[in-house]
Amino acid sequence: MSNKIRVVVWNEFRHEKTKAHVKAIYPDGLHATIKSFLDKNDDMEVTLAALDDPDQGLPDELLENTDVLIWWGHAAHGEVKDELVAKIQDRVYLGKMGLIALHSAHMSKPFRNIVGTNGFLSWGRNQKEVVWNLLPQHPICAGLPDHFVLETEELYSEPFYVPQPDALIFGSWFEDGYIFRSGLCYLRGAGKVFYFQPGHEECPSYYNEYVQKIITNGVRWAAPANIGFEIVCCPQLKTKATEE
Q: Using CA atoms, how far apart are residues 189 and 191, in angstroms rounded to an integer?
A: 5
The vertex-177 CA angle with 174 and 182, nearest 5°, equals: 40
Q: Is 67 in the site for Zn ion (CB under 5 A)?
A: no
Secondary-structure breakdown of the chain: helix, strand, coil percentages, each rounded to the nearest 5: 30, 30, 40
Of 47-55, 124-132, 148-156, 233-241, which part binds Zn ion (CB under 5 A)? 148-156
Task: Give least dist CB 104 to Zn ion, A.
Answer: 5
Find out whether 138 and 169 touch, Cβ atoms under 8 Å: yes
Q: Using CA atoms, how far apart are residues 205 and 172, in angstroms rounded to an integer?
A: 14
Contact flags string 90-109 toward Zn ion, x per CB under 5 A? --------------x-----
- Closest contact distance (angstroms) between CB of 156 and Zn ion is 8
Q: Which stretch binds Zn ion (CB under 5 A): 22-30, 141-149, 199-207, 225-233?
A: 199-207
Q: How many residues bind Zn ion (CB under 5 A)?
A: 3
Q: Is 16 in the site for Zn ion (CB under 5 A)?
A: no
* Least distance (Å) between residue 106 CB and Zn ion: 10
Q: What is the DSSP string of 207-231?
A: GSHHHHHHHHHHHHHHS-TTTTS--
- Alpha carbon distance, N-terminus to C-terminus of the chain: 21
Q: How far is CA 126 from CA 77, 150, 176, 186, in A?
A: 22, 10, 10, 27
Residue 12 binds to Zn ion (criterion: CB under 5 A)? no
Q: Least CB distance from residue 172 to Zn ion, whole Å?
A: 14
For Zn ion, the binding residue among 16, 90, 153, 154 (CB under 5 A) is 154
Element (H, E) at 6: strand 5-11
138 binds Zn ion (CB under 5 A): no
| Closest CB 127 distance from Zn ion, rounded Å | 13
Q: Which is nearer to Zn ion, 90 or 154 (CB)?
A: 154
Distance (Å, rounded) from C-alpha 13 to C-alpha 199? 13
Interstrand relation of 179-188 and 191-196 (parallel, antiparallel or unpaired): antiparallel
Judged by CB under 5 A, does residue 200 bind Zn ion? yes
129 binds Zn ion (CB under 5 A): no
Residues 173-192 that bind Zn ion (CB under 5 A): none
Instruction: Verify binding: residue 15, Zn ion, rule CB under 5 A.
Output: no
Stretch that binds Zn ion, among 6-14, 41-49, 83-91, 152-160 (CB under 5 A): 152-160
Binding site for Zn ion (CB under 5 A): 104, 154, 200
